Structure 1
Amino acid sequence: MMKSTGMLRKVDDLGRIVLPKELRDNLEINSADSIEIFTDGGRIVLQKYAPGCCFCGNLQVTKMVHEKKVCRSCVELIGGR
C-alpha cells in the first residue's frame, strides 16, 4: 500500500531529485546504494536494489554457486545439493 510522506521535492535541470535524509534513514538507503526504478501506470516507484536469485529473482537466496546467488527452488530445479 502506498503511503504519502507529505514531502515534496523539485526536479532539477538534469532530472535529479534529492531523497530527504529522514526517508533515506527510515529505509536504510546509503549514499552508495543502488535504487531500482519502476513505473506503475502514471507513477514512478523507487526501491532499494536487493539482488536476488540469478535465475528467478527470489530474494530468499540460500546458496552461492560460482559467486552467483541461487534460491532453494532453483537449486532443487537444477539438481544441486
Structure 2
Amino acid sequence: MKPAGVVRKVDQLGRIVLPKSLRKRYLMNEGDPVEIFVQGDHIILERYRPKCVFCGSMNEVRDFKDRYLCGACIEEMAQLRR
C-alpha cells in the first residue's frame, strides 16, 4: 500500500474529505459509491464496482430488479429454461 502523503482529520460526524488531487487521479466524482474494507488495522476505500450475485464476476454486469448479474450467469439461466 503506497502512502499518499496526505493527512486529514475526521470531523464530528465521522467524515473525511478526499483531496481533489486523489479524486481526480482515481476518477471519483461527487455521488460515486465507495466501498469500505477492513484489512487488519487498515481501512481501505475503493470505488464501488458491482459484482454478480451468483458468481462474483465484475465482467459484463447488468442491473436486474435491484440485483447485479453477469452475462455468463444470465446465459446460464436462459439455458435452464430451455
Q: Shorter-chain-normalised TM-score: which range?
A: 0.7 to 0.9
Q: Which residue of 2 aligns with 1:40?
A: 39
Q: Which residue of 2 aligns with 1:19?
A: 18
Partners of 1:52 and 1:61 within 8 A in 2: no
Pairing 1:49–2:48 present:
yes
Identical residues among aligned pairs (%): 43
Normalised by the length of structure 2, the TM-score is 0.76
C-alpha separation between the residues in 2 aligned to 1:65 and 1:13? 38
Secondary structure of the corresponding residue to residue 24 of structure 2: helix
The 10-residue stretch of structure 1 (54-63 or 5-14) with the greater mean CA deviation from structure 2: 54-63
Aligned residue pairs total 79
Check 1:63–1:50 CA distance in 2 against 1; reply closer, same or farther (3 A cut). closer
| CA displacement at 1:28 relative to structure 2 | 0.5
Check 1:63–1:5 CA distance in 2 against 1; reply closer, same or farther (3 A cut). closer
Unpaired runs of at least 5, structure 2: none
Check 1:73–1:18 CA distance in 2 against 1; reply closer, same or farther (3 A cut). same
C-alpha separation between the residues in 2 aligned to 1:65 and 1:14? 34
Considering only aligned residues, what root-mean-square deviation do their CA atoms show, in Å?
2.3
Check 1:52–1:12 CA distance in 2 against 1; reply closer, same or farther (3 A cut). same
